[in-house]
Structure 1
Amino acid sequence: MSLQVISSNELTQRCRLSDGRLVDIEIDDTGLEITVTAVNGAKLGSIELQDTEPGHYYLTWMYLDQDGGAFRRCGIGRQALKFHHESFGCLFTAAPNDGRQREDSSHLTGDARGFIQKMRDEGLVLPADPYL
């Protein structure tokens, strides 16, 4: 499915999904949280980040299926990360896909394994540090 940005300002984007549904992607002022909501609807989820070093944000929590999954695999997660990258000029790091559960909950579960690998392949998420 493809997604089209139909309006954008400093920290908010409105996007139209290929089926016509609208979502808003909003980044908080600190850059540490990205919230996604369905227009005239419920919160779909958020992405929580940790500012680890200059130019990098670590993905600690990403949950975009609070609605039960009706908005999954629509390109929203990718667009949220791209929008944050465009706004802050930083890249992302994420836990390696090693099966370990991390105390900060940043381990990869469910769809996150495939999603993070795709984002690594596209260069939006840096290769994993195996020592995390």
Structure 2
Amino acid sequence: MDPADEFTTKTGATVYIVVDEDQATIGAYDQNGDPIGEFEFAPQDDGQNEWHHLTSMFLEEQPQYQGQGIGEEMLRRFRDEMGTVITADENTGQKSNLGSHLTGTGVGFVARMREKKLIAPAESDHVDRPDDGEW
């Protein structure tokens, strides 16, 4: 694994976070290279702006890594490496037209990441969106 991909969890464990630009995914792996989880994104383009919509979050492969800041760091690295804005579904209980919907801990996670400005505000938040894509 590439040392540039290293991330230290809240408990001091080293994991590796790897962006796959071609597949619009980001994965987390333990020191043995075994998967911890993966986020998938759907590239979006409305003719004026491009962004990535979070369609799948899975970090339950190794439960001991939950709550360690890995998911937040995955979003941060994906946003920064891809130079993109990240959007996510609202908690409507219904699948979106992109096939994604929030379940389980994903609801609270997305809300916290919106507060930290790693995920764009939901459309229902009625927030004026700046032209430069910064929140």
Specify the TM-score bucket, using the shorter chain as the normaliser.
0.7 to 0.9
Segments of structure 1 that go 5 or more residues without pairing to the other structure are 1-6
Q: Which residue of 1 aligns with 2:39?
A: 47
Identity %: 29
Q: CA deviation at 1:115?
A: 0.5
Q: Deviations over 1:48-94 (max 9, x none)?
A: 00101244100010101112x11111110110110111112111111
TM-score when scaled to structure 2?
0.79
What's the secondary structure of 1:106's corresponding residue? Answer: coil
More helix by share: 2
Q: Residue 121 of structure 2 aligns with which residue?
A: 127
- Which amino acid is 1:96 matched to? E
Query: Take 1:38 and 1:106, find their aligned partners in 2: how far apart are those partners?
Result: 26
More strand by share: 1
Superposition pairs of residues 19-58 of structure 1, within 5 angstroms: 19-30=11-22, 32-40=24-32, 42-53=34-45, 54-58=49-53
Which consecutive residues of structure 2, in runs of 5 or more, have no partner in the other structure?
125-135
4+ residue segments displaced more than 6 Å: none
SS of residue paired to 1:35: strand
Is 2:57 the partner of 1:62?
yes
Note the 1:85-124 alignment, pairs <5 A. Answer: 85-102=79-96, 104-124=98-118
Deviation of the 1:103 alpha carbon:
6.3
Distance change in 2, residues 1:52/1:94 (3 Å): same
SS in 2 for 1:109: coil
Count of matched residue positions in the alignment of Structure 1 and Structure 2? 119
Return the index of the structure with the highest Cα Rg: 2
